[in-house]
Amino acid sequence: MKSFVRLVVVLAALVCVLGTSAEATIVDFVSTDAAVEFNIGTNSMTIRLTNTGTVSAIANTLTGVVFTFSVTPPAETLTGASAAGTATCTGMGSATSCSTNATPVSASGSSPFGWTLAVSGSTDALQAGGGSFKPDGIVNSTIVASGKDGLGNANHNPYLLGPVTFTKTFGTPAPANLTVTAVTFDFGTDPATETAHLAPAPEASTMFLGGTGVILLGYAARKRFLPRSA
């Protein structure tokens, strides 16, 4: 029994440490039709964009994200990106036909897939087409069944199948308190915008209680089903 108690204590400490670390470096924002995960490290960070809405028109393509840091970050350089695949549409109006290719793709450099980063103080704008919002907007698999209005326009093709993860590096180590405080998503080429809100993260104490519960259930089952020693 003493060894079991020691195991619970060690696991509790580990969960608390991991929970604190994850909460300090990973920030998630969501809106009605998009989600973004910021994974902020000392020397670099990633931005993972997902289009969660129904893609039936160009206005539904995710074409940018504007976000504000808690403090002014060090000098930033966009270095690459990866996507879950690509999508292509042809035709016009109701005759539009869209297909997806789930083969992952990647790009390197300061304008991966034509997306570029513009920095103004503590605010960053990451946008498709160097700020023209086309091509390579981010979509999802709903484009196959729902894709119609304007999506076959050659100037907007191809599209990126999300999630799409962008990587950027810092010129100097980022401050420990660097986080993201506000996010706005761009859709289409006008563009329309959606303001995101911070996604709730599980508390370390909740993680501990859940993990401890599983351990205790396992211990109870062991006591119940293992034969008692004579």
Q: List the one residue out of 101, 94, 128 whose CA is nearest residue 114.
A: 128
Residues 198-223 have pLDDT tens digits of 998 754 444 444 554 444 444 544 55
Check whether residue 228 and residue 129 sit in a common domain.
Answer: no
Check whether residue 5 and residue 17 sit in a common domain.
Answer: yes
Check whether residue 119 and residue 91 sit in a common domain.
Answer: yes
CA gap 152, 93 in Å, rounded: 8
Check whether residue 36 and residue 13 sit in a common domain.
Answer: no
Check whether residue 164 and residue 208 sit in a common domain.
Answer: no
Tokens matching residue 162:
């999300």
Check whether residue 46 and residue 160 sit in a common domain.
Answer: yes
Tokens matching residue 9:
């204590």
Check whether residue 168 and residue 216 sit in a common domain.
Answer: no
Torsion angle of the four alpha carbons 26, 29, 35, 41, in this order, in degrees rounded to the nearest 10: -20
Residues 100-144 have pLDDT tens digits of 999 999 999 999 999 999 999 999 999 999 999 999 999 999 999
**Amino acid 177: pLDDT:** 93
87, 161 in Cβ contact below 8 A? yes
**Amino acid 71: pLDDT:** 96
Structural domain range at position 16: 1-25+200-230
Tokens matching residue 98:
């869209």
Check whether residue 160 and residue 216 sit in a common domain.
Answer: no
- Structural domains counted in the chain: 2
Tokens matching residue 2:
């003493």
**Amino acid 25: pLDDT:** 78
> Average pLDDT of 140-164?
95
**Amino acid 202: pLDDT:** 58
63, amino acid identity: T
Check whether residue 72 and residue 98 sit in a common domain.
Answer: yes
**Amino acid 126: pLDDT:** 98
| Cα–Cα separations (whole angstroms), residue 213 to 110, 138, 175, 207, 218 | 47, 40, 36, 10, 9
Count CB neighbours of 205 within 10 A.
12
Residues 1-56 have pLDDT tens digits of 545 445 444 444 444 444 444 444 799 999 999 999 999 999 999 999 999 999 99
Counting every residue written for the chain, the total comes to 230
Confidence of residue 149 (pLDDT cuts 50, 70, 90): confident
Check whether residue 65 and residue 152 sit in a common domain.
Answer: yes
Residues 41-73 have pLDDT tens digits of 999 999 999 999 999 999 999 999 999 999 999
**Amino acid 227: pLDDT:** 53
Check whether residue 87 and residue 65 sit in a common domain.
Answer: yes
Confidence of residue 94 (pLDDT cuts 50, 70, 90): confident
Tokens matching residue 148:
């119609």
Least confident of 30-39, 102-111, 147-156, 163-172: 147-156
Check whether residue 175 and residue 185 sit in a common domain.
Answer: yes
